[in-house]
Homo-oligomer: A and B are copies of this chain.
């Protein structure tokens, strides 16, 4: 059994992680870290867990973490990098769900986060935990920067075309629509959010830099792109619509084949047939990313639509996928279930 600590167990990503881990056959949940709810049973805070996991939340004690094999950190923004160096010293592996360890280059971090990174040497060591792209490095990693929901959805949607060098790298536009779980616990009131859609942080969202980093690596050119996040009135689900001008003519069928080939060995990426498109309800609750492609032949432009669940493949599910890889388990352990649909 893998002994697991979850730090930040009562945020949305944290609790989804806990929920998914209760069904993991090789995991023993040892520590549920929560500042806000210490001393309370997790099943009092999230009564859906009653009868399944009635363990108490606790403040984090490094002596206790030491007994674990892996710690997931699902902490508020900025908190990860203050605690992770000490966690690693206890000998546990760390999968961090924040943005703190996702960058190859400390200067990029500093540019987008507005402050120097406090442990640039760990940033150097950490692996970007997008399993489909960095599987082999993840297997050997001690520290994972688990990617965000917007970034996973965007990167996996754009990767195949860029890998083949078929996209004009100057005109990549990602228009992403996100459900409210992506914003974290308690952030959006029902009455302001239901029946409304908005764009926000246009041209300034931090995840732009993560997407650019990974797509630049894939295309072996520096990619700068437009990324526009939107908030839509649903809980789970991101849909990213990605526009890329083609460098040579291509039909929808050819593009579909290219994508299907690129992901042919990936269980969690489902490329739709030509003419079909993803919907967020097809992936809600699951670790799948669904991708549909279309060519606008009048304009020789590819339009790629990708969808995932913010807190599964976009957070907790991918974190478990990373753990499975790091501990030599089948990659889909505890993740091989269909989305809810309803």
Contact = CB atoms under 8 A, between A and B. Distances in A.
Nearest to A286: B48
A156 interface: no
A190 B235 contact: yes
B51 A199 contact: no
A180 B187 contact: no
A19 B338 contact: yes
Contacts of A303: 199, 202-203, 226, 228
A322 interface: no
A47 to B, nearest CB: 4
A198 B277 contact: yes
B281 A48 contact: yes
A51 B192 contact: no
Contact of A342 (B12, B52, B278): B12
A58 interface: no
Nearest to A173: B243
Interface in A276-335: 276-286, 288, 290, 292, 294-299, 301, 303, 305, 307, 311
B196 A280 contact: yes
- Give the bracket for the number of chain A residues in contact with chain B: 35 or more
A171 B245 contact: yes
B199 A277 contact: yes
Contact of A198 (B180, B188, B189, B278): B278
Contacts of A307: 197
B338 A267 contact: no
A112 interface: no
Nearest to A174: B175
A264 interface: no
Contact of A230 (B177, B189, B226, B297): B177
A180 B171 contact: no
A195 B282 contact: no
A48 B284 CA distance: 8
Interface in A114-161: none
Nearest to A288: B51
A233 B190 contact: yes
Contacts of A48: 281-284, 286, 338-341
Q: Which of A267, A279, A301, A337 has the most CB of B within 10 A?
A: A279
A170 B296 CA distance: 13
B299 A191 contact: no
A12 B189 contact: no
A239 B188 CA distance: 19
Contacts of A283: 48
Nearest to A269: B51
A234 interface: yes
